[in-house]
Amino acid sequence: MSPARLPARRTAAYLTGILALASAATGCGNGTGAASSAGKATSITALDYYTDETEHAQWGALLAACGKTAGVTVEQTSVPGAALIPKVLQQASSRTLPDLLMLDNPDLQEIAQTGALTPLDQYGIDSSGFAKGILSAGTYEGKVYGLAPDVSTVALFYNKDMLAEAGVAVPRTWDELKSAAAKLTRPGRYGMAVDANATFEGTWQFLPFLWSNGGDEMELDTPQAAQALQLWVDLVKSGSMSKSVLNWTQADVHDQFAAGRTAMMINGPWRIAALNKDQSLHWGVAPIPVPIAGQTPVMPLGGEVWAVPQNASRDRQVKAAKVLACLNDPANMLASAEEHFTVPSRSAVAAQYAEQVPSAAAFVDSVNLARARTGELGVDWPKAATGIYTAIQSALTGEQTPEEALKHAQQIATGS
């Protein structure tokens, strides 16, 4: 899940994981109902943004194994996250798109709108069992164009020792969050940390607070949205949260937490691998606090989808679709989630994963009800996202009140 482009999620030794993924892949069926001209395509191309050496190798191994089931060699190319969409748009214009394409899920609508992608139902790919939000993220104008093997969202990480020492319970509501953060704050340590920077990551982290309070990207200048932003303002003004959150990335937030400089943080499951390395760090994970006790948090959906672009060769499309189906095979979903500390996209597989990895349970529960960021605005989502992070910056610096900042955000979102 990648809000703007999440940092690489694992840097540890990965040979065991690669072997596990490859082993799982060899059990895939063809996953498609379309016929192809046997023997025509011996290789296909795949494009993604997994430039981290470990991540590139992990996905490369799985692509190779799934290619074997389709009878082709997969030639993988990875480009930096910021370069992917410009490259894809250029390739679409010149008709040089790869056979298999990975996209951050909020970008799928923009690419599908150009006509560059093919609906997956024409290949007979099984899209049953996926959570509603996950299918929504891969859908454009009623057709499924992309599927994600695994997904993510965010949750509240907390330092168990610090909470116990301060006599603080894990906060479940906004009032409890403010109270807990204040009690946990002391010289050299803040109670709470978020990523509030001026990128889509800042928007991504704010969405659970906005949505859970009834706010909506369709209309940002509402009391519900202002109340959510006021919560973050109050945390900074009270000294419970550092003003530096205005510049922190999610990686920076993690570093602050791991170093003991914040007792709680908002972050994603991809951080679990690094947290597990420090045996002296006793941490837990819980749902993001909600405005009122008993509410269910409304979470944003992260993760990358795989799609089959338009291609002059029907045989290459069919082979690419077989690889895509293999990537989304339940066994591969589970193996990939275990390797990346993400959540399998099929609900039944996710439930199995939660039993195997208890620290991921909060994420599994949240993903089941998570919303796609493009679910309401479609291709116009980036404008709203820009308005939101601009409002966060203005309000947290004190330049504008939350109401003023969100009024401006609405103007950015609508282009008025």
Mean pLDDT confidence for 381-398: 97
How far from each other are the two terminal CA atoms of the chain, in whole angstroms? Answer: 30
Q: For residue 273, what pLDDT is reported?
A: 87
Asked if domains 15-151+302-368 and 155-298+377-414 share a fold, the reply is yes
CB 258 within 8 A of CB 283: no
pLDDT digits (tens, 9 = 90+) for 306-356: 999 998 899 999 999 999 999 999 999 999 998 888 999 999 999 999 998
CATH architecture of 155-298+377-414: 3-Layer(aba) Sandwich (3.40)
Mean pLDDT confidence for 261-288: 94
Q: For residue 7, what pLDDT is reported?
A: 37
Percent above pLDDT 70 for the chain: 91
pLDDT digits (tens, 9 = 90+) for 129-172: 998 888 999 999 999 999 999 999 999 999 999 999 999 999 99
Query: Cβ of 39: how many Cβ atoms within 10 Å?
Result: 8
CB 309 within 8 A of CB 119: no
pLDDT digits (tens, 9 = 90+) for 301-310: 999 999 999 9
Q: For residue 193, what pLDDT is reported?
A: 98
Confidence check: pLDDT of 207 > 90: yes
Mean pLDDT confidence for 92-116: 93
Helix (H, G, I), strand (E, B) or coil at 192: strand
pLDDT digits (tens, 9 = 90+) for 230-267: 999 999 999 999 999 999 999 999 999 999 999 999 99
Q: For residue 325, what pLDDT is reported?
A: 97
Mean pLDDT confidence for 355-384: 89
241 strand-pairing partners: 192
Residues contacting residue 186 through CB under 8 Å, at least 6 positions apart: none
Q: For residue 305, what pLDDT is reported?
A: 96
pLDDT digits (tens, 9 = 90+) for 81-98: 989 999 999 998 898 999
Query: Cβ of 108: how many Cβ atoms within 10 Å?
Result: 27
Q: For residue 132, what pLDDT is reported?
A: 87
Confidence check: pLDDT of 121 > 60: yes
Mean pLDDT of the chain: 89
CATH of domain 15-151+302-368: 3.40.190.10
The whole model's pTM is what? 0.86
Residue 145: what residue type? Y
Q: Kindly list the distances between the CA atom of residue 56 and the CA atoms of 46, 61, 63, 126, 412, in Å, as whole numbers in the listed order.
A: 12, 9, 10, 26, 36
Residue 270: what residue type? W
Confidence check: pLDDT of 36 > 80: no
- Greater confidence (364 vs 180) lies with 180
Domains in the chain: boundaries = 15-151+302-368, 155-298+377-414
Local structure of residue 360 (DSSP, 8 states)? G
- Greater confidence (28 vs 289) lies with 289
